[in-house]
Structure 1
């Protein structure tokens, strides 16, 4: 009988190749067992990718909407936080100004100085950005919504020059906010921010800008109090501060209303986020069902491969220990 033998080098190469093959199989089976899905999609689906393509396309679409919802959630939360700060500042100033008539001159001057500082705070708050986008400048998200606070107050002071009565000063400031505000103060766009798409037919619009009447009212009346700091007549100064306090008190309703509207938008975003999460879970389940494997069968295959690998190691060790003396005896 003819016997075909392998040389040492060929035998070593064959054992190494078997070792690599078994290790690759073990790696594939381990990966499948941990993920619960097949590694060979083509064989598993017999080449029919139609349903899988639909699922993955829908998953990408849902992922895009989830990203948009996340951005919308962050944007509205930042807006709500800014509005809360504006309302807190205006409410506190209102209480202070309403007591101006019973205050000494030094206290009134301190109130006016505080008003000037807080005018800058409100302006800075309305210039807040989120992820590099200005919150209250409409579609022009690449720049601040409002001009520099000191520049606006300087422009207002020029407008009231020569006015010596409370009604005249207030009318001049009203006129500035009715006309110059959009050319000198507000620097954003008059077009609303583009909506956030949260579904095929679901879009959330945030048409809230720094030129909103409620926010303009806060700015205007904090400015009135700030202007009072340059008034030397004690009675006129106290009158302007009290006027600003009453107007700021009345402006609270307007700020509360826009915060309430924003809260409704936040609720819609949350509802859509929940709906998208449910849709993603459903699609993931469908994908896993389509590509899923039999865990028991895969574990059995893995055990067999492990056994073959152990046998191969044993054979390799046995062959490596052979000697000429062993062969001849």
Structure 2
């Protein structure tokens, strides 16, 4: 039988290729042992990336919900704080205003100045901006909803021009605040924000603006008393006292509306927090599942590394022996 042998050069090339291949396998196996991850995920999944793509799509959706819940929680918290501040401003003067009917002209003047300052503060609260966004302007987040207090009082003075009694001034003020061409035109914000998606099939209502009746009517109460500081009903101490009293009644009557508004926003806050908790748990679970898909069995990877290293050591021995071959060694 004819015997075919491999030439020295060919044998050397074969051994070099085998050595390079085994060294590559050792490197990949060592990486898998060190990281616990497949070095070739495509091969591990046999080319079927659909489970991984589905998980990544879900994680991307959860990332969007995470941003939405953070923004919605931020907005509702800022609104709650502003409304609480508005209630504090009202409670700090309403009782005194209710007793203004029997107050002296000087006391009424002091109350009116205080009411004007509180009206300015109330407008400031509703003009709250956080991270460059107006909280009560609806979609017009780059614009504060209300103008300066002096502009509001000027408009109210015009609306109440000719009023001779506290009742007439009160009617003019409440009429201006409910008129689309009055307070509706003074409002500089936009329409309410659309519901914000916070979870699969769930959205949060963050639609409160400065046009909300509870907020609008509260401003009307401060404005009634603030007009006294602008000289309305001047010279008639009795009617000025009655107007101050009407302002106190207005502020007291809006207390329940502000409480209801805060409760409504609080319900939204609870839904946002619940959605955030669920989304976080789902994100953690999907992250673990994704990690499992790309992970290797540490025992199997270690065993495979040892086997490849043994093959490489054996190849080195063969290569060393081949490299020492000579005629003297052959005839010995």
> Per the shorter chain, which TM-score range?
0.7 to 0.9
Q: Secondary structure at the match of 1:144?
A: coil
Q: Which residue matches 2:46?
A: 46
1:212-253 CA deviation, whole Å, 9 max, x = no partner? Answer: 111111111100010122234222222111111111111100
Superposition map of 1:1-329 within 5 A: 28=31, 32=35, 36-179=36-179, 180-189=181-190, 191-229=191-229, 230=231, 231-296=234-299
> Is the CA contact 2:145–2:189 (under 8 Å) kept in the aligned structure 1?
yes
Could you say if the C-alpha distance between residues 163 and 22 of structure 1 is closer, same or farther in structure 2, counting changes exceeding 3 Å? Answer: same
Q: Secondary structure at the match of 1:197?
A: strand
TM-superposed deviation, 1:193 = 0.6
Could you say if the C-alpha distance between residues 246 and 299 of structure 1 is closer, same or farther in structure 2, counting changes exceeding 3 Å? Answer: farther
With normalisation by structure 1, the TM-score equals 0.78
Q: Which residue matches 1:314?
A: none
TM-superposed deviation, 1:303 = 10
> Is the CA contact 1:143–1:188 (under 8 Å) kept in the aligned structure 2?
yes
CA distance in 2, matches of 1:303, 1:54: 35
Aligned residues: 289
TM-superposed deviation, 1:261 = 0.7
1:282-311 CA deviation, whole Å, 9 max, x = no partner? Answer: 211211211122345667889999xxxxxx
Could you say if the C-alpha distance between residues 31 and 253 of structure 1 is closer, same or farther in structure 2, counting changes exceeding 3 Å? Answer: farther
1:21-79 CA deviation, whole Å, 9 max, x = no partner? Answer: 899769945861xxx43343223323321211111111111111111111111111111
> Is the CA contact 1:222–1:244 (under 8 Å) kept in the aligned structure 2?
yes
Could you say if the C-alpha distance between residues 183 and 250 of structure 1 is closer, same or farther in structure 2, counting changes exceeding 3 Å? Answer: closer
> Is the CA contact 2:29–2:301 (under 8 Å) kept in the aligned structure 1?
no
CA distance in 2, matches of 1:109, 1:304: 96
> Is the CA contact 1:147–1:184 (under 8 Å) kept in the aligned structure 2?
no
With normalisation by structure 2, the TM-score equals 0.77
CA distance in 2, matches of 1:303, 1:196: 55
Q: Which residue matches 1:318?
A: none
Unpaired segments of 5 or more residues in structure 2? 1-7, 10-19, 309-332
Could you say if the C-alpha distance between residues 75 and 300 of structure 1 is closer, same or farther in structure 2, counting changes exceeding 3 Å? Answer: farther
CA distance in 2, matches of 1:226, 1:289: 67
Could you say if the C-alpha distance between residues 288 and 107 of structure 1 is closer, same or farther in structure 2, counting changes exceeding 3 Å? Answer: same
Q: Which residue matches 1:323?
A: none
